[in-house]
């Protein structure tokens, strides 16, 4: 076991230096405002660490969005493969992977930001846990700063305390419970926002949709169960990260939605209203129509014209000529006074 612990420590040691360097950079700023030992300075340092990490992960987030969009657009083709090779699971898996390879789509890209953040999450947990238990620092964090972090209080609760190890402190339990609920709710709402606004209707029934639904309900439960063992500082990091994800995803969905989704239709309506306010003509769609034309009422069907009445003489002539009965008389014939005279006779 010591061998594996040494390997884990060797891998995590660079992360300790990275995490502590970013935290101490923010702490030097906020410590001058609130005091080096204050809970506010350490809490804001953790939030600053979160913002830096998430800003560095923006390229991965963009890749995640592109991959997620490609997965949505490929669902009709995936369904065709299921119908064609549904009886052969091995062939179906092979053809599906070939489709992803041809379109340069990675079905696991949606998990990249989460996977990359996990070592940072574990590193921050170990830093706070070590400071709480032994009062010793890791990375660039000195023992004095580690003890300051251990004893720092936020709203009356220590940042290093957990819900399970609160020593009967009700304030700590309330703060930890509130952050666990916030972390769980933001995780659920972020995934729900993606499914309800930026997924086309035909993508809500395929295997990708089943994966998204699984994540929608499983991840919040996992975080809620595990969250009661996390220090308040770690919960603060994860909740801030979730809020960042919600805002970032809201911006992307609003300004660059996937085609044939509710967000895409909403963006079309906003663009059309903006053009109306500016007095610009509506932009035609690919089929030549505009949003205004599509939303306009459908034209009323043309009423069928009733056939004109024939005089007795005209009916006799029509009966005598084959095929002539189907030819309606002209207006001159119906208005001819001689026809009226013949009718009177």
Query: Measured over all CA atoms, what is the biggest interatomic distance in the chain, rounded to whole angstroms?
Result: 127
CA distance 212 to 110: 10
pLDDT of 160 above 80: yes
Beta bridge partners of 30: none
CA distance 343 to 314: 10
DSSP 164: T
At 246 the pLDDT is: 87
For residue 58, what are the contacts with CB-CB under 8 A and spacing of at least 6?
A: 248
pLDDT of 193 above 70: yes
- Band (pLDDT 50/70/90 cuts) for residue 256 is confident
At 232 the pLDDT is: 92
Tens-digit pLDDT profile for residues 79-133: 888 888 878 888 888 888 888 888 777 777 667 777 888 888 888 888 888 888 8
Q: What is the model's pTM?
A: 0.70
């Amino acid at each position: 076991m010591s061998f594996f612990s040494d390997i884990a420590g060797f891998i995590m040691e660079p992360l300790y230096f990275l995490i502590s360097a970013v935290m101490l950079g923010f702490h030097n700023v906020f410590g001058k405002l609130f005091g080096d030992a204050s809970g506010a300075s350490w809490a804001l340092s953790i939030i600053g660490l979160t913002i830096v990490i998430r800003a560095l992960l923006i390229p991965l987030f963009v890749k995640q969005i592109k991959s997620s969009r490609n997965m949505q657009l490929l669902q009709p083709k995936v369904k065709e493969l299921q119908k064609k090779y549904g009886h052969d699971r091995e062939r179906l898996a092979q053809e599906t992977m070939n489709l992803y390879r041809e379109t340069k789509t990675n079905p696991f890209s949606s998990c990249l930001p989460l996977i990359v953040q996990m070592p940072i999450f574990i590193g921050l947990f170990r830093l706070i846990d070590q400071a709480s238990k032994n009062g010793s620092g890791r990375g660039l964090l000195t023992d004095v700063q580690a003890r300051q972090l251990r004893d720092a209080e936020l709203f009356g609760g220590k940042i290093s305390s957990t819900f399970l190890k609160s020593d009967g402190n009700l304030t700590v339990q309330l703060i930890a419970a509130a952050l666990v609920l916030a972390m769980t709710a933001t995780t659920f709402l972020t995934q729900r926002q993606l499914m309800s606004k930026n997924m086309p209707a035909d993508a809500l029934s395929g295997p990708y949709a089943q994966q998204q639904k699984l994540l929608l309900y499983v991840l919040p439960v996992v975080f809620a169960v595990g969250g009661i063992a996390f220090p308040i500082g770690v919960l603060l990091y994860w909740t801030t990260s979730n809020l960042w994800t919600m805002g970032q995803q809201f911006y992307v969905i609003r300004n660059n939605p996937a085609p044939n989704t509710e967000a895409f239709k909403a963006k079309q309506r906003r663009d059309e209203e903006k053009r109306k306010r500016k007095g610009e003509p509506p932009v035609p769609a690919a089929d030549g129509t505009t949003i205004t034309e599509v939303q306009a009422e459908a034209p009323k069907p043309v009423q069928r014209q009733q056939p004109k009445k024939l005089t007795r003489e005209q009916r006799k002539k029509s009966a005598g000529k084959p095929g002539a009965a189907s030819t309606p008389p002209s207006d001159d014939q119906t208005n001819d006074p001689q026809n009226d005279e013949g009718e009177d006779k």
